[in-house]
A = this chain, B = another copy of it.
């Protein structure tokens, strides 16, 4: 924990660098402070994975976009990005908001150019995990032990 999974319409792969977004969001998580100013997340356990969907359907399929017209290359072509961060339970609401706001700001910055070129929706949510079993096996965490 934490992990951030990005599910998005595959039409975005030709238009934006999703690996760069992953890096930006991982850096954002690593920099996020808790209420005491200490890192919220352990560096050895922070990861972001992004998955383009080869099959998708968004909203009305393009009718409203085409009807609205405008100067997009294809106003009937919609894209969607869903970002879900799952973090361990027990953090404060203030920490959730701080982490969420920082991730949203990084996400908006990444997609800013696209918003003037196409129809796109972005949703970011944070879930607390309520797992009934949790186990780790890693040779990454030791790299960050002092």
Residues on A lying within 8 angstroms of B by beta carbon are 1, 3, 5-9, 18-19, 21-23, 25-27, 30, 43-61, 64-65, 68, 78, 80, 82, 85, 93, 96-97, 99-101, 104, 107-108, 111, 115, 119-141, 143-144
Contact = CB atoms under 8 A, between A and B. Distances in A.
Nearest to A116: B139
A130 B86 CA distance: 12
Q: How many copies does the complex hold?
A: 3
Contacts of A100: 133-135
Contacts of A21: 55
A18 B55 contact: yes
Contacts of A47: 9, 56-59, 80, 82, 121
B140 A26 contact: no
The 9 lowest CB-CB distance pairs between A and B, nearest first, are A100-B133, A121-B138, A49-B53, A22-B57, A126-B133, A26-B57, A50-B55, A125-B131, A64-B143
